[in-house]
Structure 1
Amino acid sequence: MCVGVPMQVLRLESPFAVWCRDASGGEALIDIGLIAAPQPGDWLLTFLGAAREVIDEQTAAQIQSALAAVAAALDGEHDLDAHFADLINREPQLPEFLLPAKESAA
C-alpha cells in the first residue's frame, strides 16, 4: 500500500531539502525538489522521503486521523468513527470533475 504522510517543516537544510517532524515526533530529511520552497511551520504531504505537495494544517490533521484509524483497525479496534469525524453525518460528495456538466442558458 502506498501512503502519503503529513510532516511539518522544522528548518531548511538546503535549497533541495528540509527537516520535518511527523505526528509521532520523528524527524526526517525530506527532498523538496518537486514543490516550491516551503517555510518552517508549513505542512507537507510526503512519500518515500520526498514532498509531493504543500497542504494546510486541517488537511494534515485529517490525514493523520485516517492513518491512526488504519493503525487502530490493524490492532483490532472496530469503532473507528472518531477517526473520521469530518465524514460523520454528511452526504457523500462527488469531486467537481465528476459532477454532470451544467447546461448553459440559451
Structure 2
Amino acid sequence: MCIGLPMRIVAADAFTATCERRGAVEIVSLLLVGPQPVGTPVLVHLGTAVRVLDPDEARRIDDALDGVAAALAGGAFEHLFADLIDREPALPAHLVAAADPAGTPPPDK
C-alpha cells in the first residue's frame, strides 16, 4: 500500500520546498503542484508533493494515520475516524447512476 503524508511547507523556491511533519523535515519536489507559499499543507509521497491540501483535509489524513497506528497497537481509534463512524458509506458519483433503486450495484458483465 502506498501512503502519502500531509506535510507543511516551511520554505520554498520555484521547484522544491522544505516540508515539516511532526518534527521531521524533508526536501520535497513541487513539480506536480507548482510553486506554493510557506504554510501550505501538501500531500507528500516518495519525496514529491502530489496534491495541495486544505488544513481540514490534512488534519483528517493525520487522524486516519493515527487511527491505523492506534488500531495496530490495540488502542482506541474510533475518535480518530469521527467523520466516518456515524454514517453509512456513500457510493462514488460514478456508481450512484449505475445503482438500482434498491441501492445495489449492477452485476459484473
Instruction: Give me the TM-score of the superposition, normalised by structure 2.
Output: 0.82
Distance 2:40 2:95 in 1: 30
Aligned partner of 1:85 among 77, 82, 85: 82
Deviation at 1:33, TM superposition (A): 0.8
- Quick one: percent identity of the two aligned structures? 39
Distance 1:9 1:61 in 2: 15
Deviation at 1:56, TM superposition (A): 0.5
Deviation at 1:74, TM superposition (A): 2.2
Distance 1:25 1:97 in 2: 40
Q: Any unmatched runs of 5+ in structure 2?
A: 99-109
Q: Any unmatched runs of 5+ in structure 1?
A: 102-106
- 1:1-106 aligned at under 5 Å gives the runs 1-12=1-12, 14-22=13-21, 24-77=22-75, 79-100=76-97
Distance 2:94 2:40 in 1: 28
CA deviation vs aligned residue, 1:4-45 (integer Å, no higher than 9, x gap): 100011111x311001111x2211111111112111111100
The number of residues matched between the two structures is 98
Distance 1:44 1:5 in 2: 8
